[in-house]
Amino acid sequence: MGQSTNGATNGATNGATNGPTKWVYSYGGGQADGRADMRALLGSKGAHLAEMSNLGLPVPPGFTITTALCTHYLATDHSYPDDLGPQIEEALERLAQLSGRRFGCIKQPLFLSIRAGAPETMPGMMEAILNLGLNDETVEVLAKETDNARFAYDSYRRFIQMYGDMVLGIDQNEFEDIVEEVKDERALFYDTELSADDWKGIIERYKALILQELDEPFPQDVRAQLWGAIGAACSSWMSARAITYRRVHDIAEDWGTAVNIQAMVFGNLGESSATAVAHTRDPDTGEKRLTGKYLLNAQGEDVLEGNRTPYELTLDARLANGSPEPSMEELMPEPFARFRAICDQLEHHYRDMLELEFTIEGGQLWILQKRTAKRTSKAALRIAVDMALEGLISKEEAVMRVDPRSLDELLHPTLSESAERIVIAKGLAASPGAASGHLVFETKDAELFTSNGKRVILARTETSPEDVHGMHVAQGIVTARGGMTSHAAVVARGMGIPCVSGAGMIRINYQDETLTVGAEVMHKGDLITLDGRSGEVLKGEVPMEKPELTDEFATLMEWVDGIRRLKVRCNAETVQDAKAARDFGAEGIGLCRTEHMFLQEGRISVMREMIIATDAHDRERALNKLLPMQRADFAALFETMAGFPITVRLLDPPLHEFLPSEPGDIAKVARAVGVAEDVLASRIHALHEFNPMLGHRGCRLAISYPEMVEMQTRALFEAALEAAEKTGNPVQPEIMVPLVSIKEELEFVKARIDATAKKVMKKSGKELSYKIGTMIELPRAALQARKIAESAEFFSFGTNDLTQTTYGISRDDAARYISDYLRAGVVEQDPFISIDVDGVGELMEIAVERGRFARPDLTIGICGEHGGEPASIDFCEKIGLDYVSCSPFRVPIARLAAAQATLRRHQRT
């Protein structure tokens, strides 16, 4: 489980060494025992009630029983410490002094609300129990006191219903059914139409239900009621929904929950009373305006549960929505004005947007609860920037308040929240955004549909380089197999289109051109929608909301770049990707995968000619055809990224990936390259590898076929000289040799690169500065970094393969069972999503230390998919890397995460 981060323990003493335990902290009357920074002890709710009391705000007096009591209660078979009772009685006596009412007294009885409250807000863990202290006697006293029998008996039935559900364990629906039956008998629609006599009858039926279910009457002893509610609040910490919430949000089980006990204030005491929930700013847009809803003559759950339609708090909101009902601002101007002033005061005090619950009882305003408000990603960004500009927080605090991952929603289309969803499958949310289109299964159909003006979604069992043309024209990609770093996921993230990968329940039949999930069958041409944020595949076309980059986004990014130390590059091999990355603030290319350049139309066939060549002469002839194509690509990249470094990785994947595998495709390719079908089949068979991940690839190809290195580096150097002359900007090529594990491998390839460079510079008569380095993607390379750094001028961690080879797990197959590991608690996170700092991370630290020992000026970066993941970026900052490189659309995320990592490092030091 998660670890406590709120700076306190849940042990409580009176401040003396080994003194008695202080279980109860009181507040009210302008003072309190606690403070806002005591969340671990008092829970978030209790700490802030204490803080607001100390600020002199109108908070109903009460007391908080600490989280330590919950821990004790659960650890001792639901027993209470001996000294708890006296402390509660003392707190109740203080309540009597502040309120003028006494708990358990028939004359002017005190009524209480009970709420659990953990150190971190956990919505829905336990709802409030209101009106505690009502029984058959005190309800009559309340009716006479207020001269409002209907209010009194409505409050009593609410208490019985809440207590029966949360303490006695009777299904809430059984109580609701009784109310609905009475309303049907009386031909009434709203609860508010029921009379005092109606509620009296309902109360008797409630008590009969409890007696029938439990064989015990509803408790009339108010102290028995109180202890029952305290026990229920503590027990709620171990409810199924609380356990699930803690697991999802990484909240530690040993925190426990506090119990907040407050004097009741009644929002249902007639037309001069109301209850409301408000936000100090708009939670959807972040606009600085008070928003919220209220109900007259109601208690809190009426607003929260939607039993009645609430009204607008402000006049502006009422007018904007065309509501005929008066706003609270119009109906109750004095308490509303007081509340607005309190909102401003609390925003300045807490320096954040807040959600507040409040009640007006007979015209008197009472603040019941404060919490940090939930908000959309768009609102979070605007609020952080606005508050910094208003002087409430610093620019550094604003940067820390925006979740880097939330920027995905600002950079990509998202599905409309109100749209109907028909989910047919679910996989991994491999690339963010949303898209709709006509379902296709083949590249040729993707291109055909697109040429006819139709948007497409490409569905494949898994993708390969053969599918890149179709992926480029598709709006989104879905695969039945593959993980977060599969071919489909990586390419989609690079192109900024949504991808759902590893949707294992999908069955794709290429012959019938169908996608089947259970009984659902979809055909080519059917409309389908992908949600890359949730990993859902949806039937039909779902309405979307377009991304919008605001002025606040630009402002935040300006602050970010003034803070971060890590440089941010992009992974790109096309001008389109490079331009997108530059627009997003990339400071160079950290990974140019040259093999992707060979997949374009008109090039794949030449590449295949080279692969099937049986001797060096035929291979060089094909390479000479590729040379001008590769040179043009490099030149365009150098021009686009003028003045920034570009790291070019030499050919990396096994050669068989460029060849077809299906019989029909083999025949077609054989005709295209002008060889016999059996010759091509024989060559494919010869290149087949049982484990290509660890096979003939990377520098191993360069050693076997050095002429490929010479062609690529010649194209690179010629393009660099051409671009430098054309743009007038310096060109900084960095040549990366992949899959090195032995120093001598790098030296063999480096000698070919240097020799080619000399030839190009001699022929042109111009000098060119360049670097040669390697990708650290094998454990041996990390361990041998000191030796390798003697020949390498830079390292770039290829963490996708380093994770594979460290774990011995295929990244394409891991998706099938990593989810089982996560559910079982074997691992806390997917190592292909976030760097495994204990294993892969230790290898990286070793490589950094040993590499810089041999070469202190060694530049070190990361170009695996982890380069765009916030937690991984934080680790890269911690171990002193120089840059991270990621797909173009993740560049803003990486910039923000890098700035936050810098700030956290400063905090640590």
Three-class SS string for 275-321?
Answer: EEEEECCCCCCCCCCCEEEEEECCCHHHHHHCCCCCEECCHHHHHHH
User: What value does the mean pLDDT take over residues 3-21?
Assistant: 46
Confidence of residue 825 (pLDDT cuts 50, 70, 90): confident
Instruction: Look up residue 65 and give its two tokens.
Output: 């029983």
pLDDT 10s digits, 826-845? 988 889 889 999 999 999 99
The answer, yes or no, to whether residue 10 has pLDDT greater than 60, is: no
- DSSP bridge partners of 63: 26, 261
Nearest partner of 533 among 381, 414, 380, judged by Cα: 414
Instruction: Look up residue 612 and give its two tokens.
Output: 């099937």
Stronger pLDDT, 898 or 730, i.e. the higher one:
898
Angle at 546 between CA 544 and CA 551, to 5 degrees: 150
Q: What is the pLDDT of residue 545?
A: 84
Decide: 66 and 41 in contact? Cβ < 8 Å: yes
Instruction: Look up residue 753 and give its two tokens.
Output: 């690169």
- Beta strand 507-509 with 527-531 is unpaired
- In a 10 Å sphere around its CB, with 0-12 CB exposed, 13-18 middle and 19+ buried, how is residue 303 labelled? buried
Q: Could you tell me what percent of the chain has a pLDDT over 90?
A: 68
Query: By three-state DSSP, how is residue 97 classified?
Result: helix
Position 794, amino acid? F
CA gap 400, 560 in Å, rounded: 10
Q: What is the pLDDT of residue 692?
A: 65
Q: What is the pLDDT of residue 4?
A: 36
Q: What is the pLDDT of residue 663?
A: 67
The answer, yes or no, to whether residue 614 has pLDDT greater than 90, is: no
- Beta strand 732-737 with 645-649 is parallel
Per the prediction, the chain carries an average pLDDT of: 90
Decide: 643 and 681 in contact? Cβ < 8 Å: no
DSSP tally for the chain: helices H, then strands E: 36, 32
Annotated catalytic, 487? yes
For residue 395, the tally of other CB atoms under 10 A from its CB is: 18
Instruction: Look up residue 334 and give its two tokens.
Output: 């004095």
DSSP state of 102: B
Nearest partner of 698 among 651, 753, 657, judged by Cα: 651
CA gap 401, 50 in Å, rounded: 25
Q: What is the pLDDT of residue 11?
A: 42
Annotated catalytic, 886? no
CA gap 309, 319 in Å, rounded: 17
Q: What is the pTM of this model?
A: 0.82
Lowest mean pLDDT among 236-240, 252-256, 312-316, 469-473: 469-473
Stronger pLDDT, 532 or 823, i.e. the higher one:
532
Confidence of residue 677 (pLDDT cuts 50, 70, 90): confident
Confidence of residue 883 (pLDDT cuts 50, 70, 90): very high
831 Cβ contact partners less than 8 Å away, ≥ 6 residues apart: 803, 807, 839, 840
Decide: 786 and 853 in contact? Cβ < 8 Å: yes
Position 263, amino acid? A
* Cα 856 to Cα 7, 564, 744, 803, 850, distances in angstroms: 39, 22, 21, 26, 10
Nearest partner of 260 among 13, 9, 27, judged by Cα: 27
Q: What is the pLDDT of residue 67?
A: 96
pLDDT 10s digits, 261-276? 999 999 888 889 999 9
Nearest partner of 15 among 25, 29, 4, judged by Cα: 25
Position 126, amino acid? M
Residue for token pair 């041998």: 784
CA gap 561, 579 in Å, rounded: 19
- What are the percentages of helix, strand and coil residues in the chain, rounded to 5? 50, 15, 35
Q: What is the pLDDT of residue 303?
A: 64
φ, ψ (nearest 5 deg) of residue 871? -65, -35
CA gap 49, 339 in Å, rounded: 16
φ, ψ (nearest 5 deg) of residue 697? -155, 175
For residue 770, the tally of other CB atoms under 10 A from its CB is: 18
Nearest partner of 402 among 382, 386, 372, judged by Cα: 382
Query: By three-state DSSP, how is residue 823 classified?
Result: helix
Choosing from 234, 343, 699, 863, which is the catalytic residue? 863
Query: By three-state DSSP, how is residue 851 classified?
Result: helix
For residue 269, the tally of other CB atoms under 10 A from its CB is: 21
Lowest mean pLDDT among 90-99, 493-502, 569-578: 493-502
63 Cβ contact partners less than 8 Å away, ≥ 6 residues apart: 24, 25, 26, 27, 88, 91, 94, 95, 260, 261
- DSSP bridge partners of 295: 275
Residue for token pair 């599918």: 467
DSSP sequence for 413-458: -EE-TTS---EEEE-EEEE--EEEEEEE-SHHHHHHHHHTT--EEE
Position 901, amino acid? A
First to last CA, the chain: 27
Residue for token pair 């794949």: 604
Q: What is the pLDDT of residue 785?
A: 98
Decide: 533 and 570 in contact? Cβ < 8 Å: no
Stronger pLDDT, 84 or 10, i.e. the higher one:
84
- DSSP bridge partners of 776: 797
Choosing from 487, 596, 656, 866, which is the catalytic residue? 487
Q: What is the pLDDT of residue 273?
A: 93
Position 420, amino acid? E
Stronger pLDDT, 615 or 758, i.e. the higher one:
758
539 Cβ contact partners less than 8 Å away, ≥ 6 residues apart: 422, 423, 424, 520, 522, 527, 528, 529
Confidence of residue 12 (pLDDT cuts 50, 70, 90): very low
DSSP sequence for 590-655: EEEEHHHHTTSTTTHHHHHHHHH-SSHHHHHHHHHHHHHHHHHHHHHHHHHTTTSEEEEEPP-S-G
Which alpha helices (DSSP H) does 728-836 contain, by range?
Answer: 743-764, 779-783, 785-788, 799-807, 815-824
* Cα 215 to Cα 168, 222, 267, distances in angstroms: 12, 19, 34
pLDDT 10s digits, 711-762? 999 999 999 999 998 888 888 899 999 999 999 999 999 999 999 999 999 9
The answer, yes or no, to whether residue 206 has pLDDT greater than 80, is: yes
Q: What is the pLDDT of residue 529?
A: 96
- In a 10 Å sphere around its CB, with 0-12 CB exposed, 13-18 middle and 19+ buried, how is residue 166 labelled? buried
CA gap 611, 605 in Å, rounded: 10
Position 775, amino acid? M
Three-class SS string for 549-607?
Answer: CCHHHHHHHHHHHHHCCCEEEEECCCHHHHHHHHHCCCCCEEEEEHHHHCCCCCCHHHH
- DSSP bridge partners of 414: 545
CA gap 761, 328 in Å, rounded: 79
CA dihedral sign of residues 640, 642, 645, 651: positive
